[in-house]
């Protein structure tokens, strides 16, 4: 399923829409992993609705209709014992909000904690770079073994059970912990949420993850400001590990 958007206010055309929820004539035909070859009984013209879906929190058993993208609707004519090929397209709804750190600007909207030993920088290694001109880079070793940083958007995100997702791309040989940092009205909270496992050094590739932050953010009713937090601690002493990161987005209605 293709994502049509490449607008600056929505960030890079980076996604992992890997699932589709399929309806025909108002009835559900199930959920399928893309690309899919779907057997359907029927002839003639039928109304189809394809709803974009994602793997939530990187857990393959957790599939969800992505709430911020348009459905694909089409009248498709079926023929018995024939195959109809389609390439459906979707896009973010126009009213969706984005807070973006894509490592392209001179300054980063990230706040590194004072306890951190490592730093996050920017690199443009062409063998690694996939989007834009820069990506974020963290190198961990025995002397630089810890880093924790939060987004610094300073924006009030919706609560009361409203969907809020963190999207980003990463390539990593070290694990990382994703959480939320909430503050305001004299209160400060850190809520860890999701650990992302490392990839093998020889097989590491860019991956896109959708992190559902609704529960964390809605739980902190007394703190108006909520940021995404990333924590990385060297997994194995005596080694050098990396985490590359790009296209950090907080997405909400």
C-alpha 107/C-alpha 121 separation (Å) is 10
77-106 per-position pLDDT tens digit: 999 889 999 999 999 999 999 999 999 998
The two structure tokens encoding residue 33: 């992993």
| 34 three-class SS | coil
pTM score, two decimals?
Answer: 0.92
C-alpha 194/C-alpha 43 separation (Å) is 46
- For 71-80, give one letter per residue: b (16+ CB within 10 A) or e: ebeeeeebee
Beta bridge partners of 92: 69
Q: What angle do CA 214, 111, 182 make, to 5 degrees?
A: 35
> Which is nearest to 66 in space by CA: 212, 221, 232?
212
For the segment 233-245, the average pLDDT, to the nearest whole number, is 98
pLDDT of residue 2: 59
* Bond preceding residue 35 cis, omega within 30 of 0: yes
pLDDT of residue 7: 46
30-46 per-position pLDDT tens digit: 999 999 999 998 899 99
Q: How far is CA 242 from CA 80, 107, 146, 172, in A?
A: 53, 21, 12, 6
Q: The tokens 């990506």 sit on which residue? A: 135
DSSP for residue 25: T
219-237 per-position pLDDT tens digit: 999 999 999 999 999 999 9
C-alpha 25/C-alpha 47 separation (Å) is 5
Beta pairing class for 89-90 and 2-3: parallel
Q: The tokens 């359907």 sit on which residue? A: 40
Which residues have C-beta within 8 Å of that of residue 146, sequence separation ≥ 6? Answer: 115, 116, 117, 118, 140, 232, 233, 234
Beta bridge partners of 96: none
Residue 159 has pLDDT above 50, yes or no: yes
Beta pairing class for 120-123 and 135-140: antiparallel
For the segment 6-15, the average pLDDT, to the nearest whole number, is 76
108-143 per-position pLDDT tens digit: 999 999 999 999 999 999 999 999 999 999 999 999
187-212 per-position pLDDT tens digit: 999 999 999 999 999 999 999 999 99
| Sheet of strand 110-112, all strands in order from the earlier edge strand to the far edge | 110-112, 146-151, 225-233, 176-184, 187-196
Beta pairing class for 44-55 and 72-78: antiparallel
């Amino acid at each position: 399923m293709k994502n049509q958007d490449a607008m600056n206010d929505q960030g890079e055309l980076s996604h992992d829409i890997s699932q589709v929820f399929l309806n025909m004539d108002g009835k559900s035909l199930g959920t399928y992993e893309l690309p899919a070859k779907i057997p359907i009984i029927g002839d003639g013209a039928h109304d189809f609705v394809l709803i974009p879906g994602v793997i939530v929190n990187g857990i393959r058993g957790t599939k969800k209709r992505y709430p911020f993208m348009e459905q694909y609707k089409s009248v498709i004519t079926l023929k018995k014992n024939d195959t109809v090929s389609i390439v459906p397209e979707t896009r973010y709804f126009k009213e969706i909000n984005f807070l973006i750190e894509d490592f392209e600007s001179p300054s980063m909207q990230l706040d590194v904690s004072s306890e951190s030993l490592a730093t996050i920088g920017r690199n443009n290694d062409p063998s690694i770079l996939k989007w834009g001109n820069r990506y974020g880079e963290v190198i961990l070793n025995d002397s630089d073994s810890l880093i924790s940083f939060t987004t610094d958007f300073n924006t009030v995100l919706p609560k009361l059970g409203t969907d809020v997702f963190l999207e980003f791309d990463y390539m990593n040989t070290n694990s990382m912990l994703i959480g939320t940092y909430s503050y305001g009205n004299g209160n400060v909270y850190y809520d860890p949420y999701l650990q992302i496992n490392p990839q093998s050094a020889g097989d590491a590739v860019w991956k896109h993850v959708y992190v559902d932050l609704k529960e964390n953010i809605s739980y902190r009713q007394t703190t108006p400001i909520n940021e995404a937090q990333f924590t990385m601690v060297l997994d194995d002493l005596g080694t050098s590990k990396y985490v590359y990161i790009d296209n950090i987005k907080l997405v909400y209605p």
